[in-house]
Amino acid sequence: MLPPVKKDRVIHRLPKCFSHAAALHTKEDFHPAVKTFCQTNKSSAVRFNIAKVIVVGDVAVGKTCFISRFCKEAFEKNYKATIGVDFEMERFEVLGVPFSLQIWDTAGQERFKCIASTYYRGAQAIIVVFDLSSVESLAHARQWLEDAMKENDPSSVLLFLVGTKKDMSSAGQQEDMEREAVRLSEELKAEYWAVSAKSGDGVKNFFFRMASLTFEANVLAELERSGARQSSDIIKLTESTEDRHKRPKSRCC
């Protein structure tokens, strides 16, 4: 049995977005259907309790530090090389339902643009990271997203554009970058965030928001699927009843 989820990973309300201009949605709370479902069907909600999240972006933009700030609550850049795993597992509880994020980080292969398709495949959320002090890294964001989308279904994946190293740029510099990042987020239908792994600014809020939106999307997709299953059962049932009527009457006396 797994130990209980840490108290500070329990989510009751939908965390706020970073910028209303570039949010996946700006609703104050979880979708009512998701809330009702979690209240009444906790045990079946547990079925879709894991999501794969991939992190992409140019080398040295701060992807590893960003992940380790959240998972290890520290600013350390070499943690991954020492433990050598493909992903971090982070456990949450959302609306009373256990929910885990499998957060995939690269081991530096992005330097050579040779990321295996298995890294991208089956993601429910894609985080494209750029460095707020590097215009070039933002210009490359679109290409990273295109590569990741080749292995994913656009209708079932949530996109996030995250600018890192917020502590390094001046307010003016940041404003310029942010204007462009918000514009790109609108175009890509991604949610924009600015964070600093060094100070921790925005990191926890981002991961909570991302976990919540991914959970919400998972439950809504499952509700849609089960709705579709039920209506196709009804159609099948109706068809077979009609078929029965269409069948030629037995000539048997």
| Torsion-angle region of 57 (φ positive above 0: left; ψ -120 to 50: alpha; else: beta) | left
Separation of alpha carbons 103 and 66, rounded Å:
11
With CB cut-offs between 5 and 8 Å by kind, which of ligand GDP, Mg ion, none does residue 218 bind? Answer: none
Choice between 72 and 225, CB closer to ligand GDP: 72
- Beta partners for residue 158, in sequence order: 125
| In the block, residue with structure tokens 């909600």 | 45
Asked if residue 90 lies in contact with residue 51, where contact means CB atoms within 8 angstroms, the answer is no
Residues in the chain: 253
Separation of alpha carbons 248 and 115, rounded Å:
61
Q: Does 64 bind Mg ion (CB under 5 A)?
A: yes
Q: Does 64 bind ligand GDP (CB under 6 A)?
A: yes
Q: Does 164 bind Mg ion (CB under 5 A)?
A: no
With CB cut-offs between 5 and 8 Å by kind, which of Mg ion, ligand GDP, none does residue 12 bind? Answer: none
Stretch that binds Mg ion, among 57-65, 91-99, 144-152, 243-251 (CB under 5 A): 57-65
Residue 206's φ and ψ, nearest 5 degrees, are: -60, -50
Least Å from the CB of residue 78 to ligand GDP: 8
Choice between 48 and 87, CB closer to ligand GDP: 87
With CB cut-offs between 5 and 8 Å by kind, which of Mg ion, ligand GDP, none does residue 124 bind? Answer: none
Q: In what order do the strands lie in the sheet with 10-11?
A: 10-11, 87-94, 97-104, 50-56, 125-131, 158-164, 191-194
Positive or negative, the CA dihedral 76, 81, 84, 85 is positive
Q: Does 121 bind ligand GDP (CB under 6 A)?
A: no
Nearest C-alpha neighbor of 129 from the set 73, 74, 210 = 210
Q: Does 209 bind ligand GDP (CB under 6 A)?
A: no
Choice between 48 and 79, CB closer to ligand GDP: 79
Stretch that binds Mg ion, among 60-68, 93-101, 151-159, 188-196 (CB under 5 A): 60-68
**187-199 exposure pattern, b = at least 16 Cβ within 10 A, e = fewer:** ebebbbbbbbbbe
Which of 24, 34, 53, 63 touches ligand GDP (CB under 6 A)?
63
Choice between 38 and 61, CB closer to ligand GDP: 61
Which of 17, 22, 53, 65 touches ligand GDP (CB under 6 A)?
65
Which of 31, 91, 198, 204 touches ligand GDP (CB under 6 A)?
198
Least Å from the CB of residue 14 to ligand GDP: 26
Residues that bind ligand GDP in the complex, under the rule CB under 6 A: 59-65, 77, 164-165, 167-168, 196-198
